[in-house]
Structure 1
C-alpha cells in the first residue's frame, strides 16, 4: 500500500510523519510565527536522530519533550523521508487549500494555523517538505526511497482498503454526540479519494483523538485496529490518546494474544533478568492490544492469589519457577509472590481504582485433559530436566505441575506446563501438539499462545 518494504511498526513506536508532527503541535505551546513553527519541525525530526538526545530541547517543557520520547533512534529509518512523503502526498494531490487547511488544523488541534499568519496551507507544507529535504539523505540497506504509489482518483469502487477507510470516515457522520465536524469529515474523504487512504486514516485517528470521540470497544475499536494492522501500524499509534469505552476488568476473560499471568512472568525471565520490582512492574503494565488497562496486572494477581492461598510448598514453587523460567537462580518463595501482589495492586490502583481484585473460579472440568497431556510428556520432560544445565533445581517438575493442576487451577497448571515445555525444549509429537492446541481453545487462549511451542514438534 505505501511503497515501503518494512512495516511501519518496525520503525515507529507511535505516530509518525505528518500526523506525528501534528500531534506534537497539539501538545506543545503554539509557535509565535512561521520561524518558530519550522523550528518545531526541525526539533521533531531531530528527536529521531541518533546524535540528538530528546532531553536537550531546552525550549520545550518536559511534557512537550515527551512527545518525541520513543525508544529508538528512528531517523536512521528515514523519519524525515516519511514526513516528506506525507507532505508531497497532500501538496501534489488535487485538493483545495481549504481541504488541506481543514485536515491540518484538526490534526494539530488548532495549535498552529498557517493561514492566520498569512501563509497558505500548501506553502506551509512545502516549507515543511523543504526542511525535511535539507537533511542529509540516509542510505538504508533494503529500504526503498520514501514514496507513495500512484492512486487512481476515480471513485474507489475497486480498492477495498480505500473503501474501508471511507467507511470509517462516514461512520462518524452517523454518530450522536462529539464527532469531527461535517467539514472535517468531508475533507478527510477528499484525502482518502484524491490523495492516499493510509494518510487519510491516520488523519482520521488524529481527528477522533482531538475531538475526544468515544470509541466503542467491541465494535469500532476492533475495526480501527484491523485497518491499522493492514497498514503495518504499531498498537500505540492507534491507542495513544484514543478515548475507548473499555470493558470492565475481568481476570476470567482470555483476550490476550499470547501468554499472560504468572506463566508469562516466568517466560520473561532470562539470564539478564534480575527479578527486581522494576521487572515485575514492566510486565504488570503490559496490557495486550485491545485489553482494558489493568488487565495484565489483574490476571497476574489472580494467579498469585491462587499460589499464595494454596498448600504448595515453597520448594515446589521454586521448582516450578526454575522449570518455567530460562535463567539460573530461584525466586524467594512466597516472599516473591507477595512482591508481585504488591506491584499488581499498585498498578490497579493507578489505572482502575474502582476495581476490586477477585479470584476467578477454577476451570476444574478440564483438569483430566491437562493431566493426560502432562503425564504423556512426563518421560520426555524428565529426560530434558536431567540434561538441563541446572538439573537439581528442576527435579520433580512433573509432580509440582500435577499439584497445580489438581489442587490449585488446571488453567494455571496448563500454562505453566506449556512454559516448561518451551524452557526445557521438550519434544512433542504432532498428536501431542494438536491436543495442546485443543486445550488452548477450550481455555479460550489467544491465537499465538500454545502455538509458541510449534518448533518443538518432531517431524519425520
Structure 2
C-alpha cells in the first residue's frame, strides 16, 4: 500500500507507529504478551489526539500487504523489542497478531482535513528512500549485529537481522524501516559516525520526521569541537546571540539567556560548538581596536534595543567579558578537555562584505531602530557593522549585517537577495542561514 505524505513533525515530538510500539514494549514494566501489546498499541494510536492511529494503521498494513516472510517480520520485531515480545508466540502467529492490531485501526481511506497542511511535507521518491535506508542498514550491520548478540536479549543468526531489516525496507516500507533502524541503533547503543548521522538526519528531514526521532538517544561519534566548522543550518555566534535578546525575552535573566544561547547547539553540531563559536566572536570583539561605544551600538541595533546595556550602565566590553565567561562554563561542561583556539579571521571576502554594506546604505538612510524610545539612526548602526567587517572579522561583519537587515526589514531586490545568498555560500553557511534571516 502507498503511504500518504505527512508532516510528522507537526503532529509528534518523537517516534510514532509500529516503531514506537516496539520501543514501548521493550521498556514496559509489564510482562509483554498479546494483551499488553494491544493495550500499548491503543496508547500509540491515541497520540496527537488520535492521529497516531493513522500512522500505526499504515505501518501495520504495509507489513500485512507485503510479501515479507513471517520470519523476517519476527526477526526485526524481536530485535526492536529487545527480545521482550515475540509475535510468533501469539495464538494466531505473526500475521494473525498484525491482523488483530489492524482491526482496531482506521482504514487507509481515512483522510485528514485538507486544510491542516499535513500533506505538504518534503517528499522523497520511495525507491530512492528504500535504497538510501538499505545503505544505512548495511553501514551499521556489523556493529548492530554484534551489539544485539552481546545483549543476550535475542541472538539471530549472523547477518539475519540486517537482511530481515532490509527486507522490511525493500518489500514493506522504507519509512517504517528507517524508524526501526533508528530505534535499534539507540536501543543497542550502536556508535554512529558523523557522516552517517548527517545522512540519517537528511533522510529524517526529507520524510518530515520530528528531529528528536532521529537524534534523541543516538550514540553519535562527534568530531572534536572546532569553531572553524560550519555545521549549523542557521545563524551562530554573536549574531545569533542578539536574536535571543530581541523583543520580549524578559522571562529569565540576561545571564541565564546567554547560558541558554551558549548551549543551543544545532542538531548537526558537536555539543559545545555553539559556545565555542560565540566565544570566538566575543574574543575577537574584545581584542579589537573598536571603541566600546561602537560595540554598544552594534549590540543595541542588532537586538532592536532588546537589552539596553547603555541604560543599565554596563560597559560593552564588560558585557562581552560576561558572555565569554558563560561560554567557557558551557565548554567545561560539554567538553572538559577542550582548549579554545580561535580560527584565523576571514579576510578574503572582506571587500565583498563591505560592498554589500555600501549597497544597503541607501536602504537605512531614513531608518531609525527603536524609533519610539531612544532611537538609533540606521546609518549609525550600519557604520558599526562596517567597522566590524573592516577591522575585526569579515565573517562576523556579514552576519551582523544580516541581523541588522532582519531588524529594519528593508525591501531587497531579487538580485540583492541573490548576492547575499552567494556570499553566505562563500562563508560556508548552512542552507537556512541567509534564508531564515532575510525571509521576513
Shorter-chain TM range is 0.7 to 0.9
Structure-1 separation of matches of 2:236 and 2:230: 9
1:284 aligned to 2:262? yes
Structure-2 separation of matches of 1:389 and 1:200: 56
**Structure 1 residue 250: deviation in Å?**
0.4
Q: Superposed, which structure 2 residues align to 1:35-434 within 5 Å? A: 35-46=35-46, 48=47, 74-75=48-49, 78-115=51-88, 120-130=93-103, 140-142=113-115, 159-173=127-141, 178=146, 181-218=158-195, 220-274=196-250, 276=253, 277-326=255-304, 328-331=306-309, 332=314, 333-385=316-368, 388-390=371-373, 392-394=375-377, 396-434=380-418
CA contact (8 A) 1:178 1:213 kept: no
1:139 and 1:192 map into 2 onto residues whose CA distance is 26
Structure-1 separation of matches of 2:90 and 2:332? 46
Describe the shift of the 1:430–1:232 C-alpha distance in structure 2 as closer, same or farther (beyond 3 A). Answer: closer
Note closer, same or farther for the CA distance 1:36–1:3 as it changes in structure 2 (3 Å cut). closer
Extract unaligned runs of 5+ from structure 2: 120-124, 149-157
8 A Cα contact 2:285 2:392, kept in partner? yes
Q: How many residues align?
A: 416
Q: CA deviation at 1:416?
A: 0.5
The answer on whether the counterparts of 2:16 and 2:44 sit within 8 Å (CA) in structure 1 is no
Partner Cα distance (1:24, 1:443) in 2: 44
Unaligned segments of structure 1, at least 5 residues: 49-73, 147-155
In structure 1, the partner of 2:25 is: 25
What is the TM-score when the length of structure 1 is the normalising length?
Answer: 0.78
Pair 118,347 (structure 1): closer, same or farther in 2 beyond 3 Å: farther
Q: Distance in 2 between matches of 1:199 and 1:388?
A: 53
**CA distances 1:74-101 after superposition (whole Å, capped 9, x unpaired):** 236x112212221222234333332222
Aligned to 1:54: none
CA 132–313 in structure 1, closer or farther in 2 if over 3 Å, else same: farther
- Distance 1:379-1:204 versus aligned 2 partners, 3 A rule: same
* Contact 1:162–1:193 (CA under 8 A) maintained in structure 2: yes
| Equivalence for 2:155 | none
Bigger CA drift: 282-291 or 307-316? 307-316
Q: Distance in 1 between matches of 2:161 and 2:145?
A: 15
Relative to structure 1, the CA distance from residue 260 to residue 227 in structure 2 (aligned partners, 3 Å threshold; closer, same or farther) is same
TM-score w.r.t. the length of structure 2 is 0.81
| Cα root mean square deviation, aligned | 3.5
Q: 2-side partners of 1:405 and 1:13: how far apart? A: 40
- Structure 1 residue 417: Cα displacement: 0.9
Secondary structure of the 2:239 match is helix
